Amino acid sequence: MNDNSKMAKIAEEILISKNVFISNEILAEVVYILFGVYKISKIEISNQLLA
């Protein structure tokens, strides 16, 4: 969402450069927040998570 550009940059660097484990519960929470709070469509969320 890049609502905090400093943290977004740090998160992006970690996700790109390291092997990370993201549990199903965390993915479910991410989808819940993106859909419920940020009003992003399920299709867009799915496309981004699978990219």
* Predicted pLDDT at 48: 92
* More confident: 2 or 19: 19
Mean pLDDT of 3-9: 91
Q: 40 burial class (0-12, 13-18, 19+ CB within 10 angstroms)?
A: middle
Please state the φ and ψ torsions of residue 4, each to the nearest 5 degrees: -130, 95
Residue with tokens 């981004």: 48
pLDDT band at 32 (very low <50, low <70, confident <90, very high): very high
* Predicted pLDDT at 3: 81
Residue with tokens 């943290």: 7
What does the alpha-carbon distance between residue 15 and residue 23 come to, in Å, rounded to a whole number?
14
* Predicted pLDDT at 1: 72
CB 45 within 8 A of CB 31: yes
* Predicted pLDDT at 39: 97
pLDDT over 90 at 35, yes or no:
yes
Q: Which two tokens stand for residue 22?
A: 């993201």
